[in-house]
A and B are shown apart, each in its own frame.
Chain A
Amino acid sequence: RKEVEQDPGPFNVPEGATVAFNCTYSNSASQSFFWYRQDCRKEPKLLMSVYSSGNEDGRFTAQLNRASQYISLLIRDSKLSDSATYLCVVNGDYGQNFVFGPGTRLSVLP
Protein backbone atom coordinates (compact mmCIF):
# COMPACT_ATOMS: atom_id res chain seq x y z
CA ARG A 1 0.00 0.00 0.00
CA LYS A 2 1.31 3.44 -0.90
CA GLU A 3 2.06 5.81 1.95
CA VAL A 4 -0.26 8.51 0.56
CA GLU A 5 -3.08 7.79 -1.84
CA GLN A 6 -5.42 10.12 -3.67
CA ASP A 7 -8.43 9.97 -5.98
CA PRO A 8 -7.04 8.88 -9.34
CA GLY A 9 -8.80 11.56 -11.38
CA PRO A 10 -8.82 13.37 -13.67
CA PHE A 11 -11.73 15.52 -12.64
CA ASN A 12 -13.37 17.54 -15.41
CA VAL A 13 -15.90 20.00 -14.03
CA PRO A 14 -17.71 23.07 -15.37
CA GLU A 15 -17.00 26.52 -14.05
CA GLY A 16 -18.86 27.20 -10.84
CA ALA A 17 -18.98 23.56 -9.79
CA THR A 18 -18.00 22.26 -6.38
CA VAL A 19 -15.39 19.53 -6.38
CA ALA A 20 -13.92 17.44 -3.57
CA PHE A 21 -10.62 15.59 -3.45
CA ASN A 22 -9.85 12.77 -1.06
CA CYS A 23 -6.57 11.58 0.34
CA THR A 24 -5.62 8.78 2.72
CA TYR A 25 -2.32 8.16 4.45
CA SER A 26 -0.94 5.01 5.99
CA ASN A 27 1.40 6.30 8.68
CA SER A 28 -0.65 6.90 11.80
CA ALA A 29 2.25 8.83 13.30
CA SER A 30 1.95 11.54 10.65
CA GLN A 31 1.92 14.95 12.23
CA SER A 32 1.31 17.60 9.60
CA PHE A 33 -0.65 17.73 6.40
CA PHE A 34 -0.83 20.00 3.41
CA TRP A 35 -2.43 20.48 0.05
CA TYR A 36 -0.11 21.67 -2.69
CA ARG A 37 -1.01 22.72 -6.18
CA GLN A 38 1.20 21.97 -9.17
CA ASP A 39 0.72 23.57 -12.55
CA CYS A 40 2.03 21.81 -15.61
CA ARG A 41 5.84 21.88 -15.76
CA LYS A 42 6.10 24.00 -12.65
CA GLU A 43 7.13 23.39 -9.07
CA PRO A 44 4.48 22.60 -6.43
CA LYS A 45 3.20 25.52 -4.39
CA LEU A 46 1.45 25.44 -1.06
CA LEU A 47 -2.29 25.80 -1.33
CA MET A 48 -3.08 25.36 2.34
CA SER A 49 -2.08 23.54 5.47
CA VAL A 50 -4.62 21.17 6.98
CA TYR A 51 -5.40 21.52 10.66
CA SER A 52 -7.15 19.09 12.95
CA SER A 53 -10.16 21.34 13.36
CA GLY A 54 -10.49 21.87 9.63
CA ASN A 55 -9.79 25.16 7.96
CA GLU A 56 -11.10 27.34 5.21
CA ASP A 57 -9.44 29.82 2.89
CA GLY A 58 -11.88 31.54 0.60
CA ARG A 59 -13.33 28.94 -1.75
CA PHE A 60 -11.11 26.20 -0.36
CA THR A 61 -11.90 24.04 2.66
CA ALA A 62 -9.58 21.39 4.04
CA GLN A 63 -10.50 18.75 6.58
CA LEU A 64 -8.56 16.14 8.49
CA ASN A 65 -9.84 12.96 10.12
CA ARG A 66 -7.00 11.44 12.10
CA ALA A 67 -8.99 8.41 13.17
CA SER A 68 -9.65 7.46 9.55
CA GLN A 69 -6.31 8.84 8.35
CA TYR A 70 -8.15 10.83 5.75
CA ILE A 71 -7.76 14.34 4.36
CA SER A 72 -10.05 16.20 2.03
CA LEU A 73 -10.04 19.36 -0.03
CA LEU A 74 -13.24 21.05 -1.18
CA ILE A 75 -13.22 23.69 -3.88
CA ARG A 76 -16.38 25.75 -4.29
CA ASP A 77 -17.34 27.87 -7.27
CA SER A 78 -14.55 26.47 -9.43
CA LYS A 79 -12.64 28.87 -11.66
CA LEU A 80 -10.78 28.13 -14.86
CA SER A 81 -7.61 29.09 -13.02
CA ASP A 82 -8.15 26.25 -10.55
CA SER A 83 -7.12 23.78 -13.26
CA ALA A 84 -4.01 22.06 -11.93
CA THR A 85 -2.85 18.93 -10.18
CA TYR A 86 -3.59 18.86 -6.46
CA LEU A 87 -1.10 17.06 -4.28
CA CYS A 88 -1.82 15.73 -0.84
CA VAL A 89 1.33 15.97 1.25
CA VAL A 90 2.04 14.37 4.58
CA ASN A 91 4.93 14.89 6.93
CA GLY A 92 5.44 11.42 8.27
CA ASP A 93 7.21 12.13 11.50
CA TYR A 94 9.07 14.80 13.40
CA GLY A 95 11.62 14.89 10.66
CA GLN A 96 11.27 17.22 7.76
CA ASN A 97 10.61 14.91 4.89
CA PHE A 98 7.40 15.30 2.97
CA VAL A 99 5.64 12.40 1.31
CA PHE A 100 3.61 13.28 -1.74
CA GLY A 101 0.48 11.62 -2.98
CA PRO A 102 0.26 10.85 -6.70
CA GLY A 103 -1.87 13.94 -7.28
CA THR A 104 -5.32 14.48 -8.71
CA ARG A 105 -5.66 16.41 -11.92
CA LEU A 106 -8.48 18.97 -12.12
CA SER A 107 -9.68 20.58 -15.31
CA VAL A 108 -12.27 23.32 -14.98
CA LEU A 109 -14.09 23.75 -18.25
CA PRO A 110 -15.77 26.93 -19.54
Chain B
Amino acid sequence: GAVVSQHPSRVICKSGTSVKIECRSLDFQATTMFWYRQFPKQSLMLMATSNEGSKATYEQGVEKDKFLINHASLTLSTLTVTSAHPEDSSFYICSARDRLGGMNTEAFFGQGTRLTVV
Protein backbone atom coordinates (compact mmCIF):
# COMPACT_ATOMS: atom_id res chain seq x y z
CA GLY B 1 0.00 0.00 0.00
CA ALA B 2 0.90 3.63 -0.21
CA VAL B 3 3.60 4.77 2.15
CA VAL B 4 4.75 8.12 3.38
CA SER B 5 8.21 8.16 4.90
CA GLN B 6 9.19 10.86 7.36
CA HIS B 7 12.68 11.45 8.66
CA PRO B 8 14.06 11.81 11.27
CA SER B 9 11.73 10.09 13.71
CA ARG B 10 13.29 11.76 16.69
CA VAL B 11 15.59 14.74 17.10
CA ILE B 12 16.99 16.66 20.01
CA CYS B 13 18.51 20.02 19.25
CA LYS B 14 19.83 23.03 21.07
CA SER B 15 17.83 26.19 21.34
CA GLY B 16 18.59 28.53 18.45
CA THR B 17 19.50 25.85 15.93
CA SER B 18 17.49 24.75 12.90
CA VAL B 19 16.03 21.34 12.21
CA LYS B 20 14.93 19.95 8.84
CA ILE B 21 12.26 17.27 8.59
CA GLU B 22 11.69 15.37 5.36
CA CYS B 23 8.48 13.83 4.11
CA ARG B 24 8.48 11.53 1.10
CA SER B 25 5.69 9.72 -0.68
CA LEU B 26 7.27 6.43 -1.72
CA ASP B 27 4.92 4.97 -4.29
CA PHE B 28 2.64 7.78 -5.32
CA GLN B 29 2.85 11.42 -6.27
CA ALA B 30 1.45 14.17 -4.14
CA THR B 31 0.82 17.65 -5.48
CA THR B 32 -0.02 18.68 -1.98
CA MET B 33 1.34 17.58 1.36
CA PHE B 34 0.27 18.68 4.79
CA TRP B 35 2.22 19.41 7.92
CA TYR B 36 0.63 18.95 11.33
CA ARG B 37 1.79 19.53 14.85
CA GLN B 38 0.53 17.65 17.87
CA PHE B 39 1.15 18.66 21.46
CA PRO B 40 0.71 16.11 24.26
CA LYS B 41 -2.90 15.02 24.76
CA GLN B 42 -4.09 17.26 21.97
CA SER B 43 -5.27 16.56 18.45
CA LEU B 44 -3.37 17.20 15.26
CA MET B 45 -3.36 20.82 14.22
CA LEU B 46 -2.68 21.75 10.62
CA MET B 47 0.28 24.07 10.33
CA ALA B 48 0.60 24.48 6.60
CA THR B 49 -0.21 23.08 3.22
CA SER B 50 2.79 22.39 1.05
CA ASN B 51 2.24 22.88 -2.68
CA GLU B 52 4.61 21.39 -5.24
CA GLY B 53 6.40 24.11 -7.13
CA SER B 54 4.82 27.02 -5.30
CA LYS B 55 4.67 28.67 -1.91
CA ALA B 56 3.17 26.92 1.06
CA THR B 57 -0.08 28.08 2.59
CA TYR B 58 0.16 28.64 6.32
CA GLU B 59 -2.59 28.45 8.87
CA GLN B 60 -3.37 31.44 11.00
CA GLY B 61 -0.90 31.86 13.80
CA VAL B 62 1.87 29.82 12.18
CA GLU B 63 4.96 31.88 11.37
CA LYS B 64 6.06 31.25 7.81
CA ASP B 65 9.55 32.60 8.47
CA LYS B 66 10.01 30.21 11.34
CA PHE B 67 8.59 27.10 9.70
CA LEU B 68 10.08 27.00 6.23
CA ILE B 69 8.44 24.62 3.81
CA ASN B 70 9.85 23.47 0.50
CA HIS B 71 8.02 21.14 -1.88
CA ALA B 72 10.51 20.72 -4.67
CA SER B 73 9.07 17.58 -6.26
CA LEU B 74 5.90 15.52 -6.34
CA THR B 75 7.34 13.13 -3.78
CA LEU B 76 9.22 15.31 -1.32
CA SER B 77 8.33 18.09 1.07
CA THR B 78 10.57 19.46 3.81
CA LEU B 79 9.78 21.43 6.93
CA THR B 80 12.58 23.40 8.55
CA VAL B 81 12.09 24.69 12.05
CA THR B 82 14.41 27.69 12.23
CA SER B 83 15.87 29.10 15.43
CA ALA B 84 14.10 26.45 17.44
CA HIS B 85 12.98 27.19 20.97
CA PRO B 86 11.78 24.84 23.72
CA GLU B 87 8.16 25.78 22.98
CA ASP B 88 8.64 24.31 19.48
CA SER B 89 9.10 20.89 21.05
CA SER B 90 6.28 18.80 19.66
CA PHE B 91 5.32 15.88 17.44
CA TYR B 92 5.37 16.94 13.78
CA ILE B 93 3.56 14.77 11.24
CA CYS B 94 3.23 15.08 7.50
CA SER B 95 0.53 13.59 5.34
CA ALA B 96 -0.17 13.20 1.66
CA ARG B 97 -2.83 11.88 -0.66
CA ASP B 98 -2.33 10.39 -4.09
CA ARG B 99 -2.88 13.20 -6.60
CA LEU B 100 -4.59 10.70 -8.88
CA GLY B 101 -6.97 9.52 -6.18
CA GLY B 102 -10.60 10.50 -5.90
CA MET B 103 -12.36 12.45 -3.20
CA ASN B 104 -12.56 9.47 -0.88
CA THR B 105 -8.87 8.69 -1.12
CA GLU B 106 -7.42 8.33 2.35
CA ALA B 107 -4.54 10.42 3.62
CA PHE B 108 -1.36 8.60 4.47
CA PHE B 109 0.78 9.83 7.29
CA GLY B 110 4.48 9.83 7.90
CA GLN B 111 5.71 8.20 11.08
CA GLY B 112 6.09 11.58 12.74
CA THR B 113 9.08 13.45 14.12
CA ARG B 114 9.38 14.04 17.81
CA LEU B 115 11.31 17.26 18.24
CA THR B 116 12.81 18.18 21.58
CA VAL B 117 14.51 21.55 21.89
CA VAL B 118 16.76 21.91 24.92
Interface set of A (CB-CB < 8 Å, partner B): 31-32, 34, 41-46, 49, 87, 89, 91, 94-103
Q: Which A residues are in CB contact (< 8 Å) with B49?
A: 97
CA distance A62 to B111 in the complex (A): 26
Quick one: which of B43, B112, B114 contacts A87, CB cutoff 8 A? B43
User: What are 20 A-B interface contacts by the 8 Å CB criterion?
Assistant: A31-B103, A34-B106, A34-B107, A41-B91, A41-B112, A41-B114, A42-B111, A44-B93, A44-B109, A46-B106, A49-B106, A87-B43, A91-B103, A96-B32, A97-B34, A97-B46, A98-B34, A100-B43, A100-B44, A102-B43
Q: How far is the CA of A44 from the CA of B43 in the complex (A)?
A: 10
Residues B96-111 near A (CB distance < 8 A): 97, 103-104, 106-107, 109-111
Q: Does the CB pair A102–B42 fall under 8 Å?
A: yes
Q: Which chain B residues have a beta carbon within 8 Å of chain A's beta carbons? A: 6, 32, 34, 36, 42-46, 49, 91, 93, 95, 97, 103-104, 106-107, 109-112, 114
Are A101 and B103 in contact (CB-based, < 8 A)? no
A23 to B112, CA, bound (A): 25
A42 touching B103, Cβ below 8 Å: no
Q: Which residues of A contact B106 (CB under 8 A)?
A: 34, 46, 49
Instruction: Name the CB-closest residue of B to A85.
Output: B43
